[in-house]
Amino acid sequence: MFITSGIVAVAFVLWGVIAPGPMSTVASKVNSFITTNFGWFYIISASFFLLFVVVLMFTRWGSVRLGPDDSKPEYSNQAWFAMLFTAGMGIGLVYYAVSEPVTHYLEPPTGQGGTPQAGTEAMNLTFYHWGLHPWAIYIVLGLALGYFAFRKGLPMRPASALYPLLGDRIYGWVGHVVDVLAVFGTLFGLATSLGLGGQQVGAGLETLFGVSNTPTLQMLLILGITAIAVVSVMLGIDKGIRNLSLINLWLAFALMLFVFFFGPSVDLLNSLASNVGHYIQQLPQTSFETYPNDPDAREWQASWTLFYWGWWISWSPFVGMFIARISYGRTIRSFIMGALFAPVGASFVWLSIFGNSALGLLSTNPNNPLAEASSDTAMFSLFNQLPVHGIATILASVLAIVVVVLFFATSSDSGSLVVDILTNGGDPNPRWQQRLFWAVLEGVIAAVLLGASAASGEDALSALQTAAIVTGLPFCVVLLVICFSFTKALVSERVTVDVGPGPQTKLRQAAAKRTPEAKHRSEGSSESSESSES
């Protein structure tokens, strides 16, 4: 696994260095083919994953633990939430918090832009892209891996989730193909995030110090910040990733409070309530919309929704495995509730504060600088228009850069750990040499993508979006098969009712298949009892 994945990844890097133009051309053609012919597949699959985890949460299997029946969670709720949130959302939530609502407001997929209705729909679409669907995608793989690894004793590899269907063939070439797809989905999904982070940090430096935000600067930033991730991943989960995630979460919270208190606070609270209500009301229709008779809207969907779904799916091996790794002892129900509703609620608050602050400025002044700001500079443009003194604006911009850097590092170190586990046979404690190799390679791939787009004259964001969409498609098929396999395994988990007198009646979880050792002990105990009575 390590040799195969490493050789192919390095070959891709060399292709991007030697012939960046042809590589970018091929990737664009593949991207166009997928969005044209398989857009519907992405839309239906993402909605199916959401329905799957919500239904599973309310079934009798919700009480099944990811581990033995007497196991307890390894991490506190706060540490668990910090790690899963910073790993699952990462840089994108900072990068798009202002720019995406503004873009949808000015250029909606349908209807006229710049109207109150466009503002409402802009927040609905932003919630759609960052809400329940992405976390449902993560949960599918995370739950399956946690169940098969901690409860059934299988290696922590995506192929293990297919054991009910493949049996011991997961250790053969079929299982290796699944794991290799997971490795490349993780590498290119992370490269997308790291590329966005490099662009935004470069924009922040340009805003503060006048440094030109060139592709060269962005590539240097990616490689430099990757060094921070290397240190974190070398320290491991407890000393590195856990502490960095907690620091990152609190700094992001401080940045959000800054915008909330110096922005239109009461209006933002009203907008949050309205945004959530509209999102829930429109969710069924939004989830299955494919704009069949509107070519312009389909082009918008390819640039936004399909990019996001491909991004989340390509991230699912990384985030799913990482969440599974830190979720030992939790029940299926608590896992789904914690990983679905807690981060989604936090994301909605974050997006409403930043997004509606920007939309409020645009609604009162259509010529506001935010209308011309790029995705890289939109957040810094918002800071410059808050009613605060210059030093406070500078501090907010510096804090935003630090948050992006830490999101960068927490995404990279978590992803490196996951790729290490995948390429080390499912061992949750891989060798340090492999951790170092993959942490460095992730930053190099992101730098190569940006360099290739610059060499071919294309927009850097297009190259990152292409990488996400292309790598997400094959693993989307794997996730659908995992849903079926996981369901088949859960059916074997029997839940029996222990009927006792009065209020003593309780629901008891029992393993469906007893191990041969347990059966032998039970029979031995029964024989001993009969012998004693005799």
Cβ–Cβ < 8 Å for 224, 386: no
- DSSP, collapsed to helix, strand or coil, labels residue 330 as coil
In this prediction, residue 426 carries a pLDDT of 67
For CA atoms 81, 142, 304, 23, the dihedral sign is: positive
Give me the residue label for tokens 């985890």. 53
In this prediction, residue 496 carries a pLDDT of 43
Q: What are the distances in angstroms from CA 274 to CA 42, 123, 253? A: 28, 10, 22
Exposed/middle/buried for residue 287 (C-beta within 10 Å: 0-12, 13-18, 19+) = middle
What CA–CA distance (Å, rounded) separates 143 from 479?
12
CB atoms within 10 A of CB 203: 27
Helix spans in 213-293 (H): 215-236, 242-262, 265-287
In this prediction, residue 247 carries a pLDDT of 82
Instruction: Name the maximum alpha-carbon separation found in the chain.
Output: 95
What CA–CA distance (Å, rounded) separates 257 from 343?
17
User: Hey, what are 319's tokens?
Assistant: 């985030």
Q: What are the distances in angstroms from CA 335 to CA 62, 80, 132, 222, 277? A: 9, 10, 14, 33, 25
Torsion angle, alpha carbons of 47, 40, 187, 417, to 10: 20
What CA–CA distance (Å, rounded) separates 319 from 141?
9
Q: What are phi and psi of 507, to 5 degrees?
A: -95, 130
What region does 481 belong to: left with phi over 0, alpha with psi -120 to 50, or beta?
A: alpha
Exposed/middle/buried for residue 281 (C-beta within 10 Å: 0-12, 13-18, 19+) = exposed
In the chain, the N- to C-terminal Cα span, in Å, equals 58
| Closest CA relative to residue 207, chosen from 26, 43, 398, 27 | 398
Mean pLDDT by 10 residues, the chain (534 residues): 79 76 77 87 96 95 92 87 73 86 94 93 96 94 93 90 92 88 80 78 83 84 78 63 74 92 93 96 95 92 90 84 88 93 91 95 91 88 86 88 79 74 72 77 79 66 68 90 95 57 38 40 41 40
User: Hey, what are 508's tokens?
Assistant: 């008891």
Q: What's at 77, amino acid-wise?
A: N
CB atoms within 10 A of CB 92: 24
Q: What are phi and psi of 65, to 5 degrees?
A: -90, 150
| Closest CA relative to residue 297, chosen from 35, 475, 23 | 35
| pTM across the whole model | 0.83
CB atoms within 10 A of CB 306: 27
Instruction: Give the helix/strand (H/E) hosting 495.
Output: strand 495-498
What CA–CA distance (Å, rounded) separates 292 from 272?
31
In this prediction, residue 466 carries a pLDDT of 74
In this prediction, residue 107 carries a pLDDT of 94
In this prediction, residue 36 carries a pLDDT of 87
Cβ–Cβ < 8 Å for 150, 67: yes
Could you give the count of Cα atoms lying within 13 Å of 470 in the half-sphere of its Cβ? 20
Cβ–Cβ < 8 Å for 81, 342: yes
What region does 498 belong to: left with phi over 0, alpha with psi -120 to 50, or beta?
A: beta
In this prediction, residue 532 carries a pLDDT of 41
Cβ–Cβ < 8 Å for 435, 441: no
Beta bridge partners of 382: none
